Amino acid sequence: MTDPHPLPSRRRTARNGADLAQAGVVPPERVAEIDAVAARYAVAVTPTLLDLIDPADDADPIARQFLPDARELDAAPAERADPIGDHAYSPVAGIVHRYPDRVLLTPILHCPLYCRFCFRRERVGGEESVLSDADMAAALDYIRSRPEIWEVVVTGGDPLMLPPARLQALVTALNAMPHVQVIRFHSRVPIGDPDRIGPALLAALDAADTAVWIAVHCNHARELSPAAVAACRRLSRAGIPLVGQTVLLKGVNDDAQVMEDLMRALVRNRIKPYYLHHLDLAPGTGHFRTGIDDGQAIMRHLRGRASGLCQPTYVLDIPGGHGKAPIGPVYRHEDEVEDWQGQRHIYPPPA
């Protein structure tokens, strides 16, 4: 029997061209283009994000981040499937151990929505999904046997997509390792699927005495919808500190005022800006790429115009697995120090 009151088309996640056309965010003539991209890279746009897209605006920053573009199929020679060198530092499935005191743990490679610039786009959303019980046990054994590991960064995919029971089991297991002092989750869920931040998930995160942090990925102030703000508030009221991660993207936030508005919006919602990432060399992402000089100019603007709370660290993940390098502007010039207005002042060396 046909439902006499069907849900609006924007009340489900769009996963192909037809879904996006039905949601009214792309014209029908783009369906074939979108499906060609979807055959190569995963597509998912949640109802929350669909509602934020303005189809009448050709420069809409939300659409640019999440709607497939034919240019994604054009990979440049410098781009690479593993742009930050995860594979070389993966001793067991689900673990990346690049720095001595911390590891990445990737228990799931699915996300609520797929960013068109994702640096793990060759892996997320495919046949690999959740770590098997055996692989998860091996990953936890790896962490357990290395007392130098102080922090576990749980990423993916999106770890807050795990069922609450599985998430709680993971938190409980890490909490039982005395040398693990911090568990940090990286997630788009508060932005893209905020209703998932409910009592069961909050209880799962509260299963530890170990400090639990969440890094919220957000690239434009408009992503902080009322539902997203409410989800972040539920997390902060549960005692979970929030930090913000942002990727510098051409046509999305490569404007000083847009970036300032985003940083202020994050701080206003109790999210401390942490990293501004220069875009990684993932395949088919050239149309999002800016110059490092562009990012440094934006950071100079932030330094002079916004509170210290609004200052992220501008970083580049060096291709090949060599780690993050801060690439912000330089204010020291031999025996001079430059102020936020660009004027230089003598600062004497030690006597």
Please say if 115 is a catalytic residue: yes
**From 10, 80, 98, 222, the catalytic residue:** 98
Please say if 275 is a catalytic residue: no
Please say if 111 is a catalytic residue: yes
Alpha helices, DSSP H, located in 220-284: 226-237, 256-268
Please say if 120 is a catalytic residue: yes
Angstrom distance (rounded) from CA 318 to CA 76 = 17
Residue 293: φ, ψ to 5°: -60, -35
**From 19, 60, 193, 317, the catalytic residue:** 317
Q: Tokens in use for 330?
A: 């330089």
Please say if 218 is a catalytic residue: no
Q: Is 88 exposed, middle or buried (0-12, 13-18, 19+ CB in 10 A)?
A: exposed
**From 12, 15, 40, 102, the catalytic residue:** 102
Non-local CB neighbours of 97 within 8 Å, separated by 6+ positions: 89, 90, 91, 103, 104, 142, 149
**From 15, 166, 272, 324, the catalytic residue:** 324
H helix or E strand, kind and range, residue 248: none
Q: Tokens in use for 308?
A: 């210290």
**From 10, 19, 115, 158, the catalytic residue:** 115
Q: Tokens in use for 60?
A: 């809409």
**From 64, 111, 188, 254, the catalytic residue:** 111
**From 35, 40, 51, 99, the catalytic residue:** 99
Please say if 40 is a catalytic residue: no
**From 80, 116, 120, 184, the catalytic residue:** 120
**From 80, 280, 289, 310, the catalytic residue:** 280
Please say if 58 is a catalytic residue: no
Please say if 280 is a catalytic residue: yes
Could you tell me if 21 and 55 are in contact, meaning their C-beta atoms sit under 8 angstroms apart? no
Largest CA distance in the chain: 87
**Enzyme catalytic residues:** 98-99, 102, 111, 115, 118, 120, 280, 317, 324
